[in-house]
Structures are given as structure tokens and as C-alpha cells.
Amino acid sequence: MEGLQTVGSALLTLGLVAVAVVLSLYERLDLEREIGVAVVRSFVQLAAIGYVINFIFGLENLGAVALLLGGMVLFAAWTSARRAGDVPRAFAVAAVAVGVAAVATLGLLLALRVVPATARYLIPLGGMVIGNSMNAASLTLTRIRDDLAEQRPKVEAALALGATSRQAVAPILRVSLQSALIPLIDATKTTGIIFLPGAMVGMIIAGADPLEAVRLQIVVLYMLLGSVSIAAILVGTLSYRSFFTPRHQLRKGVSG
Amino acid sequence: MASLKIEVRGLGYGVCGTEILNGVDARVPDGEITAVVGPSGAGKSTLLRAINRLIEPSSGEVYLEGVPTGSLDPLELRRRVGMVFQIPALFGTSVEEAVLYGARLSGGDADPGRLLEVVGLDPSLAGRDPQTLSVGQQQRVSIARALALEPEALLLDEPTSALDEAARRKIEELVRDLNDRLGLTMVFVSHDLSQVERVADRLVLLADGKSVGEWERGDFFSEAGERARRFIAGRL
């Protein structure tokens, strides 16, 4: 493989970051600090995960792979819960949703022998599943919370007519699931035409046969559709209860 | 006084340390219209929501025909005690769907044409998109929707506050008419004393989350009620 052989050559791309910083300063976007934090964090995190993955590859132990993926699920749940702010039990809801999505999709890929049970496949695929499920979980959680506050009169009207919490929240749940799934569905529809997905780009640059790259990318896309759907639906069905009492009343914190 | 349909005893409710209801007593006789009156922030709407258990009181109890509502299934309670809000909040793409929403939730059915007639609307509106109706018409549809469950009592939370004067008068007439024809027990929240005089048989006065007193309409609007009227007039 040519190029990108040293850390030094990767650091040259910092020049491109400088463009963003100059733009921020020039247009007074006040984003220089954020950009700096993002650059440093991404460098440190990627370098660290690189060494971790390298170490785990060396172990050739599936237990270590599971441990790493478990850690990623917890970090994803924490990130999602922080985004969702005041949603009660957000961490537990996101952890279950992302965890089940990861186990179900990776488990299916392994059971059907679509991918081999090796760290080389499980860690990158798991990372993608967990990352995308986390985004879906955050979107669903925040959307339900915001819509419940905004549409409180409708929810109350439904409850007053004898609707259960589930029946009263159903229209909100539907919209929040749509908002979580549509970006990925659109990306899947336009893939190959408007953009080439990261995994495929990476494989082609790394010298893989483009058709081999496509085969893996198709697996990835379908896997993501499945896992994101699982995560969004689980977040929806688990989280709406947090906003109601068992006696089908909106909780006090849900302000309108 | 007729037998009591609803009785509220020592009701308390707080949010984030603020007491919204603080020992409210109120009596709602069967077949009568009881108005709940008071300045804004007095806890009128909160009292209504505690009656059908849309909120859980922190102390005290509400009785429906002598039975504590805390012991009833809340969904069953809300079907027995209907509610009409300030904003109609109709569901569905047609007036018919909007009217039948609650009835269908419990697997029941109702005659939307007859219900529209009961609330003074033309049954031919059944196929219309509810959003194309005037707010006054929408409020009538929301009353029809509550009636579709054949409730024993109806809670009305300032149902005319979003309406103009003409529409307001029509809803007032409808409320009186429903009470006369169906003998429906109603609790009517209002901050307008002249409206209370036109609509209610009796009234409960709230201020700062406490009940101040209860009067028959005749007593309240006679000389005897002069002091209470001045008390409210100064705060409404």
C-alpha cells in the first residue's frame, strides 16, 4: 500500500482543519474551541481504539471482543441519555435498546455465517451498529420528549376519553420512529449514487476488490437498517412509559 | 339539594413544591350545573383534572356517587366522567372519526349523526375534515365526542375561552340545553361571573388553591352574595 504510512503524513491533513478554524474566526462562528476539542478528541480516541483493536486482534479471544463491544454499548447509552437530558431512566432505556440491537444483528450475521466470528469483522461491524443505533435512540428519545410537551393538550384529551397511555401516545410514537428511521432509509436509497459509504471507501483504498467491498457494504447497510429499527422501536416502547404514571396520567415533569 | 354526584374532600396537589390545591372541598349535586369560579391560578383546571384522575391528588379524595375515585379504574372513571377542554383537540380526518374516537377506544360504537344533532350541528358535517370547521363548531364536536361515551357527568374546562361572543353564547345555550334534556350533571369552570349567572345552578369559589365557599345561584346573585361577588370581582 502506498501513502499514509506514517502518523506524520496523517497529521498533514491538519492543514484542512486550519481552513475550518480560519472560516470560524473570519465569520465569527465562535466554533474554534469546539473544532480544537473535536480534533484532539478524535485523534486520541482513534489512536487509543487502534491500539485496543490491535491488542484484541493479538489475543484472538472472542470474550475480549464481547467486552469491548459491551463497553461501546454503555458509552453509547451514556451519550444518548445525556442528549435526552431530563427523560427519566434514559440511560437504562438506551442501553437496552442499543444492546439488543447490537446482539440481535451481529448474532444473526454470525448465525447465518454471513461474517466469520473473528475480531477483524465483529469490532468494526459492531462499532457501526452501535453508533447508528445510538443516533436512532437519541433521536427517538428527544422527539418523544419534545412532542409530548408540545402536544400535551392532545394527549390529555385522549386520556380524558378513556385512552390508555399507549393509545394516547401512539401518534407521537409513530412520528418519532419515522424521524429516527427516515435518514437511514434515505441514505440507503441513495447509496452508490450520491455517496459511497465509509466502509466501502475504506476497503477500496486499502486495496480490496471493489466487488468484494460492495458485498460487505450491502451486508452493512441491511444490518444497519435492522439494528436502527430495533433500537428505535425499543426506545419508543420502553421510554414512553417514563412519561406516564401506571394510572395513565402524564407525569408532572412533562410540561406543556 | 339533590343527591351528590361528585364530592371533593380536602383535596391537595402540588408541583415542584408549589401547592396548587390546598384542601379543596366541593359538592356537585346530581343533575345540576356546578360552576367552579376563581381568579387565574386559583386551581380551577387542576381541580377538574383531579376529579377524573388526569392527575393524582397528593391528599384528600374525590367521590363519585360516594365511591372514592382512587379505588376506581382510571380509564373506567374517565369514561363515566367526560371532559371538554379549552382547545377542542380533535382526532382523525373526519368529523365522524373525531366524534367516535373515545367510543371506539373501548370497542364501542355510537351514532355520529344523532350526536351531531344533539350538539346542534348538521349531521351532513360528518364527512368534513374537522380542521375546516370554525372553532365554535369544533368545540361542539368535542362535546359530541364526550357524549358518545354516554357519561354520567361532564367536566367543562373554560370551554368558551377560545370563542368569540356569539359562539360563546351558543355553547352556553347548548350546555343548559344538555342539562335540561339529558339531566346531565356538569362541572363548568369559568372566570366570567355573568356567564356563571347564565349557565350554572350553583357555584364553588376557589382562591389560591383553597375553597372559599359554595352558593346556590340565586343566593350568590342576590344581596346576600354581595360580599362574595365583590371579593371575586376584585380578583378576576
Which residue in B163, B160, B193 sits closest to B175, CA to CA?
B160
What pLDDT does residue A255 have? 45
Same domain, A20 and A118: no
> Do B13 and B57 contact (CB within 8 A), yes or no?
yes
Same domain, A225 and A112: yes
> Do B38 and B206 contact (CB within 8 A), yes or no?
yes
Q: Is residue A248 part of a domain?
A: no
CA distances from A8 to A3, A11, A96 (A): 11, 5, 41
Q: Provide DSSP, A207-250.
A: T--HHHHHHHHHHHHHHHHHHHHHHHHHHHHHHGGGGB-TTS-B
Same domain, A89 and A34: no
Which residue in A69, A138, A140, A62 sits closest to A102, CA to CA?
A69
Same domain, A102 and A191: yes
Same domain, A29 and A84: no
CA–CA separation, A134 and A228 (whole Å): 8
Task: Say which residues have a Cβ less than 8 Å from residue B227's Cβ, sequence separation at least 6.
Answer: none
Chains A and B form CB pairs within 8 A to the count of 61
Tell me, yes or no, if A163 comes closer than 8 A to chain B by beta carbon: yes
* B153-157/B81-84 β-pairing: parallel
| Cβ within 8 Å, pair A163-B105 | yes
| Among candidates B16, B74, B142 on the partner chain, residue whose Cβ is nearest the Cβ of A248 | B74
What pLDDT does residue B156 have? 97
Q: Is residue A186 part of a domain?
A: yes
> Do B95 and B64 contact (CB within 8 A), yes or no?
no
User: Which residue, of A32, A59, A86, is where some domain finishes?
Assistant: A59
| Cβ within 8 Å, pair A159-B54 | yes
Which residue in B39, B58, B74, B90 sits closest to B231, CA to CA?
B39
Q: What's the burial of B52, exposed, middle or buried (CB within 10 Å: 0-12/13-18/19+)?
A: buried
What pLDDT does residue A183 have? 87
Same domain, A150 and A140: yes
CA distances from B98 to A117, A166, B106, B112, B158 (A): 54, 19, 15, 9, 20
The residue of chain A nearest to residue B55, with distances taken between CA atoms, is: A249
Same domain, A97 and A21: no
Tell me, yes or no, if A170 comes closer than 8 A to chain B by beta carbon: no
Q: Is residue A172 part of a domain?
A: yes
| Cβ within 8 Å, pair B89-A154 | yes
Q: Where in the sequence is the domain holding A110, given as residue range(s)?
A: 61-243
Q: Is residue A76 part of a domain?
A: yes
Same domain, A138 and A103: yes
| Cβ within 8 Å, pair B149-A162 | yes
CA distance B89 to chain A (A): 5
User: Which residue, of A59, A75, A101, is where some domain finishes?
Assistant: A59
What pLDDT does residue A5 have? 59
The string of pLDDT tens digits covering residues B39-79 is 888 899 999 999 999 999 999 999 999 999 999 999 999 99
Give contacts of B15 with chain A, Cβ < 8 Å: 252
Task: Say which residues have a Cβ less than 8 Å from residue A8's Cβ, sequence separation at least 6.
Answer: none
Name residue B225's amino acid: G
Q: Strand pairing partners for B37?
A: B190, B205
Question: What is this model's ipTM?
Answer: 0.93
> Do A223 and A105 contact (CB within 8 A), yes or no?
yes
Q: Strand pairing partners for B8?
A: B26, B62
> Do B154 and B142 contact (CB within 8 A), yes or no?
no
Query: Which stretches of chain B score pLDDT less than 70?
Result: 1, 234-236
> Do B77 and B56 contact (CB within 8 A), yes or no?
no
Same domain, A17 and A108: no
Helices A32-59 & A119-150 angle (0-180, nearest 10): 140
Tell me, yes or no, if A8 comes closer than 8 A to chain B by beta carbon: no
Q: Is residue A127 part of a domain?
A: yes
Count the neighbouring beta carbons within 10 Å of the beta carbon of residue A43: 14
- For B216, the 3-state DSSP assignment is strand
Give contacts of B149 with chain A, Cβ < 8 Å: 161-162
Q: What's the burial of B214, exposed, middle or buried (CB within 10 Å: 0-12/13-18/19+)?
A: middle
- For B129, the 3-state DSSP assignment is coil
Structural domains of chain A, count: 2
Same domain, A98 and A163: yes
Q: What is the DSSP letter of A88?
A: T
Does 3.40.50.300 match the CATH number of domain B4-233?
yes
Same domain, A50 and A73: no
| Cβ within 8 Å, pair B101-A249 | no
Helices A119-150 & A62-83 angle (0-180, nearest 10): 20
Task: List the pLDDT tens digit at each of the 256 positions of chain A.
Answer: 455 556 677 778 888 888 989 988 888 888 889 899 999 999 999 999 889 888 988 888 889 999 999 999 999 999 999 988 788 889 999 999 999 999 999 999 999 998 899 998 999 899 999 999 999 999 999 999 999 999 999 999 999 999 999 999 999 999 999 988 998 899 888 888 877 788 888 888 889 899 988 888 888 889 999 999 999 999 999 999 889 999 999 987 654 3
What pLDDT does residue A256 have? 39
Q: What's the burial of B2, exposed, middle or buried (CB within 10 Å: 0-12/13-18/19+)?
A: exposed
CA–CA separation, B84 and B143 (whole Å): 6
Same domain, A22 and A109: no
What pLDDT does residue B15 have? 87
Give contacts of A158 with chain B, Cβ < 8 Å: 91, 101
| Cβ within 8 Å, pair B91-A250 | no
